[in-house]
Amino acid sequence: MKSLVLISALCLPSLLLAEGTMPSPTTEAPTRAVIDLAAPGAEKLLIPSHASQVQVQQSAAGGIDVSVAAGPAGFPGVRIEPPNGAFDLSGAGFVEMRVTNTGSAIISATLRVDSGESSTSGSAYLKPGETGTARAFFASPGKGSNPLDPARITQILIFIGKNETTARSFRIESLMAGGREGDTAPINPNTVRVKPQNGVIFSPSVPVGPATQLNARNGAKAEVTSSKTISVDFTGKPDENVQLRPAKGYWDLGDFLQVAVKVKNTGSHPASLTAQLSSQADRSDTATPARPIAPGETVDLVVPFIPNTPFKIISVPEQNQLEGKQSWGLEPTPGARYFSHQTNGLILTPPAGQDPSSFEILAVTAGMPEGDPRPEWLGQRPPVEGEWVKTFEDNFDGTTLDESKWNVYSDNYWDKRVGFSKQNVLIGDGLARLRIEKRAGFHNDDPNARATEFATGWLDTYGKWRQTYGYYEVRVKLPTVPSMFPAFWLMPQRGPAEWPRYRQASTKEGGMEFDVFEGQSMWGPYRTTFGVHWDDYVKYHKSAGTSSHYNRPDKEGYLTIGMLWLPGHISVYSQGQLHGSWDSPRVGSATSFLIFDMLPGGFEYDPLDPAKLPADLQVDYVRVWQRKDLMEAGKN
């Protein structure tokens, strides 16, 4: 989606400027109209993003009416272009849009403001007839490494969401610059993420507030004891439970892979109890004792983040599409969509039909499983039966990159602030390190290419190695610096050499993007994605997979993640254990090459902090095998 440009009040014809001026610094909330939307001709400055779908006209009620017909546009709206390409809002802290929903359907009207490669936005969710405001704060960018520069605002976009079947309309009542330089958006306490110190969620030394953190339902009772533990009582009624909630926002448990609940049976007979975590998306898998807890006995209920049952992606064979896209196309599986960095509760539930029971919760602690999960054979063969031949391997021994296997330059479609540089692929100590750092330069080390403010490493095998089907495995350590987006993935390379690269890499007609892993550092170092994309990336784009793939590290802190790709089948493995699969005739069949990248941002991220760079994606090895009976199908 192209960004759209904010108009410069300093460069507009005088009839379009508001009569008021910026109030003196003593005013509590100085404001100034960016444009007088009621002035004759103002509507001509708002250019539709999609001429066939968006219409703009001056409103008899004042302001500008925007009508969006039903159609395929992804984010229909308007842009305003300044004559000199920038807008000086020095001294202000935000841009505010007042907007009214003039249609018959609910809308989310978004205001986006850019300064160079940084941007910020705000939205107003409006029912028909409602009026609201959207503020974009300069000091709180939604994307970019730095706060926006108020003196160099280069773009604005006012848009709503996709509306393929229903016409929508809204009126822009005003567009104002206000506040003071340095103002930040108010923080919603319900969205704050808190990392428990040393993983301790609750203990006698980390008490809870019974009025705000304990919630007993359907007859259950919960209270804090004189010894600062938690006493819970169940009556035996259906659907009873007790919830322990964060004092505010979420518990951020991204640095861990389990939660242990220390429970003592304070009743007079053996009884059982189930523990489960809840998150913004869904609940975790459960923990239940192997046998009822005896009176006076204390046990640990250990809730795993890694589900006990591998996930399965749902297929609709006759359509080669997916059901339940909003649930990531997964069959219902306990824990398959639990988000550890947004944990909002611990739920304790007695089994149905159990007699009245009582327990004491002594502690709740997030931690890591004990032991090394890495089997001896890992890295030596695929984790499935068959006659396999190793077809590609790089252990990154020595001090130089094997350029007969790898390219270090490519196009960067994702973040124009960042350039790929050979200097940022570091080989040594048996590792390849893709390093991102704050370093000015040129993309692909080409002085004739785009100037960039960050440099990072890139590796791919395009034109040097490719394969269809097989088992693909990497051993990696993910970065923890905010806003990191490392990945290992496959893209098609098929057809004759004279085909342009975009055609060779098309995900249509049997082509597929395979994301073996993508990390988002705000999730922590153990959670990744696993997924696939096909049928291009615009109107007909389809995808499947999960963003809740938890990986247990080995004793050295590395994750070993693998993908099995067979005709009509893909599955993902971690430390040699099956974690999920998809069987479908639409699984890709096009010869593909390998890619490692290390970029900032992604689809969920904290703002990039240059002071915390450099950061590395560490790759110990990449190994690929091919099953002998597929050697012919998998030829380059």
Give tens-digit pLDDT for 294-325. 999 999 999 999 999 999 998 654 444 443 33
Calpha distance 122→352 (Å, rounded): 46
Homologous superfamily of the 193-367 domain (CATH): Galactose-binding lectin (2.60.120.430)
Alpha-carbon distances of 480 from 180, 345, 475, 486, 612, rounded to whole Å: 33, 24, 17, 10, 10
Q: What is the pLDDT of residues 42-72, one digit of tens each?
A: 888 888 999 889 999 998 888 999 999 998 8
Question: What is the per-residue pLDDT for 141?
Answer: 63
Looking at the DSSP bridge assignments, the partners of residue 160 are none
Which amino acid is residue 330, in one-letter code? L
User: At CA 40, angle to CA 36 and CA 43, rounded to 5?
Assistant: 75
| 453: CB partners within 8 A, 6+ apart | 117, 145, 417, 418, 438, 439, 440
Q: What is the pLDDT of residues 220-270, one digit of tens each?
A: 999 999 999 999 999 999 999 999 999 999 999 999 999 999 999 999 999
Do the domains at 14-186 and 193-367 have one common CATH topology? yes
Question: What is the per-residue pLDDT for 323?
Answer: 39
The SS3 of residue 445 is helix
Percent residues over pLDDT 90 in the chain: 69
Q: What is the mean pLDDT of the chain?
A: 88
Alpha-carbon distances of 144 from 341, 384, 488, rounded to whole Å: 22, 43, 23
User: At CA 488, angle to CA 483 and CA 493, rounded to 5?
Assistant: 130
Looking at the DSSP bridge assignments, the partners of residue 542 are 534
Calpha distance 337→214 (Å, rounded): 24
Architecture of domain 14-186: Sandwich (2.60)
Q: What is the pLDDT of residues 276-292, one digit of tens each?
A: 999 988 999 999 999 99
The domain 458-630 having CATH identifier 2.40.100.10: the answer here is: no
Biggest CA pair distance of the chain: 84
Q: What is the pLDDT of residues 339-358, one digit of tens each?
A: 999 999 999 999 999 999 99
pTM: 0.82
How would you label 189-222 residue by residue, b for 16+ Cβ within 10 Å and e otherwise? eeeebebbeebebbbeeeebeeeebbebeeebeb
Which amino acid is residue 542, in one-letter code? K
Q: 3-class secondary structure for 294-359?
A: CCCCEEEEEEECCCCCCEEECCECCCCECCCHHHCCECCCCCCCCCHHHEEEEEEECCCCCCCEEE
Of 114, 94, 108, nearest in space to 175 by CA: 94
Question: What is the per-residue pLDDT for 30?
Answer: 61
- The answer to whether the beta carbons of residues 16 and 44 sit under 8 Å apart is no
Calpha distance 386→206 (Å, rounded): 53
Q: What is the pLDDT of residues 115-166, one digit of tens each?
A: 877 788 889 999 999 999 999 998 876 555 567 888 888 889 999 987 778 8
Q: What is the pLDDT of residues 413-432, one digit of tens each?
A: 888 889 999 999 999 999 99
Phi, psi dihedrals of residue 290, rounded to the nearest 5°: -65, -25
- Residue 359 exposed, middle or buried by CB count within 10 Å (0-12, 13-18, 19+): buried
Calpha distance 369→167 (Å, rounded): 53
- The answer to whether the beta carbons of residues 551 and 558 sit under 8 Å apart is no
Give me the sign of the Cα torsion angle 359, 362, 364, 365.
negative
Domain ranges of the chain: 14-186, 193-367, 458-630
Calpha distance 391→633 (Å, rounded): 14
How would you label 223-251 residue by residue, b for 16+ Cβ within 10 Å and e otherwise? ebeeeebbbbbbeeeeebbbbbbbeebbb
Across the range 511-529, mean pLDDT stands at 96
How many CB atoms are located within 10 Å of the residue 442 CB? 16
- My answer on whether omega of the bond before 614 falls inside 30° of 0, hence cis, is yes
Give the helix/strand (H/E) hosting 503. helix 501-504
Q: What is the CA radius of gyration of the chain?
A: 28
Whether residue 606 has pLDDT greater than 50 = yes
Give the helix/strand (H/E) hosting 595. strand 592-600
Calpha distance 303→301 (Å, rounded): 6
DSSP for 205-237 reads TB---HHHHEEEETT-EEEE-TTS-EEEEE-S-
Question: What is the per-residue pLDDT for 287?
Answer: 97
